[in-house]
A = this chain, B = another copy of it.
């Protein structure tokens, strides 16, 4: 059979929330595959992630110039589109996995590189299993990515170091602002950051404190149940002592009963439940109980897309996991997720490792207790040691006319080969 002789193509897809450096992983995959043309013919990227595979919308990355592919290193967001779409379990939805294998067969795809978080590793595992079952073995490799830093086993997650740097720097800058105005204006400043289940991003703000009573004065972690009375007494103490209080709050901060502060029952003028953030709830509580003037910022997407302030460490690791995924795949390894292994804290040394997909799928890494101060509002020295190297180094994009030169790819689609359409 002639078809079997053909060099296999690879499929690459971005999954879930994007980051400032997820395109660096794409760049690592594409550039490395190009070095091994006898093993991997072309890299097809899924348009809007896994949906691109299901709907047979495959982007031919070989049609992009080397220069544009290199520019992915400097461009935030997901260059091929990502998707919030989780494939269901085998029993519930075999047809999705069967469709994937059908598309892969039709386009001679022998490699599946899935760039995402814990949920995505579950998908990568299932694709691998389904390939075996359908007698079209596919080498499936997971490439870790998440700003939340909550993927199991890997020491750090590409995407996190950059958001950590952004939040640390932003907290520092806003704190200097508030400090200089506190005498006659804002006394309490709240910065709401991402992190619904784990407080890693909020924790990063703690890196700016050099000595006692330096901002941020309080950090709220999802891992520590929120106690309003205790919280307010700490806010008051900080304002009395420092003249102001800077609070960095995880969006996932919650009460002891698990209820999110952001769901505190705020209603709009129509009486509808308001999908508010945690910052306005905290601000209102402080205003009502302590009377302090407040301001708050909600960083939202700005934090995870802030490529202009990316961490060089993070960028290096994002590229390296993409590169390693291809190298391991052509070495015949499969059903793995690439990991970052920490060899030493200071000087920071790391290497690339791997772990069986089954060990990371749907597994979440929260902040260990030893990383959170006893008060519940700060980070410990062990946490600082862990976080510090991840924000090291500045990896600035090039600028033109005062703005970063972010790239937009052509994203040309591969002609479809299947007659059947697939409705998601």
Contact = CB atoms under 8 A, between A and B. Distances in A.
A350 interface: no
Contacts of A177: 18, 76-78, 301, 304-305
Interface string A224-267: 00000000000000000000000000000000000000001111
A284 B277 CA distance: 13
A280 B274 contact: yes
* Number of identical monomers bound together in the oligomeric complex: 2
Interface of A is mostly: mixed
A308 interface: yes
Interface stretch (A2-10, A121-129, A168-176, A375-383): A168-176
Given A269-B264, A298-B297, A169 B308 contact: yes
Interface residues of A, number: 83
A82 B401 CA distance: 33
Interface stretch (A136-144, A334-342, A353-361, A402-410): A402-410
B298 A298 contact: yes
A208 B392 contact: no
B299 A297 contact: yes
B280 A276 contact: yes
Contacts of A404: 169, 172
Contact of A184 (B48, B175, B189): B48
Contacts of A287: 275
Interface of A: 14, 17-18, 20, 48-49, 51, 75-85, 165, 168-170, 172-181, 183-185, 189, 191, 207-208, 264-270, 272, 274-276, 280, 283-284, 287-288, 295-302, 304-309, 311, 313, 388, 391-394, 396, 399, 401-404, 406
